[in-house]
Amino acid sequence: MKNRLLGSSLSVSSLGLGCMGMSHAYGTPLSEADAFVLLDRAVELGVTLFDTAEVYGPFTNEELVGQGLKRHRDKVAIATKFGFTIGDAAKAERPSGVDSRPAHVKAVAEASLKRLGVEVIDLFYQHRVDPDVPIEETVGAMADLVKEGKIRYLGLSEASAATLRRAHATHPIAAIQSEYSLWSREVEENGVLETCRQLGIGFVPFSPLGRGALTGALKDVKTLSDTDFRRALPRFQAENFEANLTLIETLQAMAHEKNTTAGQLALAWVLAQGDFIVPIPGTTKIANLENNIAAADLTLSAGDLLTLRDLLSPAKVKGERYPEQMARMANR
């Protein structure tokens, strides 16, 4: 698999692996043994960017990823994220807010280093912008960690274009992570994608397969487990999803004509939007991993790209990507 640059010098595979679903958000977690097999196969296929966060679990996903990638450490870049206030992991408490005060940034970096079992974090993202702390102060604390050799590159997640510019003026930002797919294109409208192009910042789309919906594998949201995060998302509510499924079926029909899969078309479209873009689709299945990686070799014509853009135009999609409370935490 070919590499792409995040920022000026972080070279990673053109497709990374989002690791959240191995232990968080989408129902039953993978066993440690199955997760290690999946991580091994990803490295074997050429994946070098692996994405986790302290909040996934919470905490357990960092431990899983760190242990699973230990023997591959010299081949991979590990990205993790901070910024939520997290209670007692033993009680499975959910984040109660955000905290990007400099002292907190440095404390959670130390904790992530220990859980990952590494001496340096390759890419350290602020998971959500803290409206009570100037971004310059947060990035300043992150920059101190770079000077101390504890992290290599800085990132933001779900930040606005204005915040990204302020952060980058304080210390170079290698990448920003936000949702981006055929059916979620806010970053095209709010200036984030264009800001990345102008400033030479990498863009890392999470959920490039619409949290699995764009593969066509999910036909009925009633089949999702009670603990599946998607049950809380407006786009996956029964009436909305039924309407969205009609759009997805048109994507599947196009994929059939091209002798590929809906998921590969969706990923190839995202990859084609710029060579500074590195999607991180997640999965818990080897077959899905292999299917996703194959999308890196799929070439789409200009006509194909326009057709896909229209097929799942966000104007046609029913339901917002986040409920109101979560939406307020994005694009700050």
User: What are 233-262's pLDDT values in tens digits?
Assistant: 999 999 999 999 999 999 999 999 999 999
**For residues 6-32, average pLDDT:** 96
Residue written as tokens 């996703």? Answer: 292
The yes-or-no verdict on residue 89 having pLDDT over 60 is no
- Pick the catalytic residue from 56, 125, 180, 322: 56
pLDDT level of residue 74 (50, 70, 90 thresholds)? very high
Beta-strand ranges (E) seen in the chain are 3-6, 10-13, 17-18, 49-51, 77-82, 84-85, 97-98, 121-126, 151-157, 175-179, 202-206
66: which residues sit within 8 A by CB, 6+ positions away?
A: 78, 115, 116, 117, 118
Which tokens in the block code for residue 258?
């091209």
Q: Is 56 a catalytic residue?
A: yes
Closest CA to 235 of 177, 181, 184: 184
Q: How confident is the model at residue 41 (pLDDT cuts 50, 70, 90)?
A: very high
Q: 228 - beta bridge partners? A: 26
pLDDT at 27: 86
Specify the pLDDT at position 320: 97
**Above pLDDT 90, what percent of the chain?**
95
Top-confidence residue, 94 or 301: 301
Query: Which pLDDT score, from 0 to 100, does residue 16 have?
Result: 98
Q: Residue 141 contacts by C-beta under 8 Å, 6 or more apart in sequence? A: 102, 103, 105, 106
* pLDDT tens column, 131-175: 999 999 999 999 999 999 999 999 999 999 999 999 999 999 999
Q: Please list the residues that pair with 79 across neighbouring strands.
A: 51, 123
Of the chain, the end-to-end C-alpha distance in Å amounts to 34
Structure confidence at residue 91 as a pLDDT band (50, 70, 90): very low
Angle, vertex CA 71, rays to CA 18 and CA 57, nearest 5: 40
Mean pLDDT rounded to a whole number for the chain: 96
Please return the burial class of 146, using the count of CB atoms within 10 Å of its CB with bins 0-12, 13-18 and 19+.
middle
CATH code, 3-211+270-298: 3.20.20.100
- Over residues 47-68, the mean pLDDT reads 97
Residue 137 token pair: 């102060």
pLDDT at 197: 98
Per-residue model confidence (pLDDT) at position 30: 96
Please tell me the predicted confidence (pLDDT) of residue 311. 96
The residues near 102 (Cβ < 8 Å, ≥ 6 apart) are 133, 137, 138, 140, 141, 144
pLDDT digits over 277-330, tens only? 999 999 999 999 999 999 999 999 999 999 999 999 999 999 999 999 999 999
Confidence (pTM):
0.97
Contact 118, 63 (CB under 8 A): no
CB 82 within 8 A of CB 311: no
Confidence of residue 95 (pLDDT cuts 50, 70, 90): low
Determine the pLDDT at residue 140. Answer: 98
The confidence score (pLDDT) of residue 2 equals 96
Q: How far apart are CA 198 and CA 293, in angstroms?
A: 28
Closest listed residue to residue 300, CA positions, set 331, 328, 273: 273
| Nearby residues of 247 by Cβ (< 8 Å), 6 or more positions away | 183, 311, 312, 316, 317
- Residue 92: is its pLDDT beyond 50? no
Distances (CA, A) of 200 to 128, 196, 274: 21, 6, 11
- Domain residue spans in the chain? 3-211+270-298
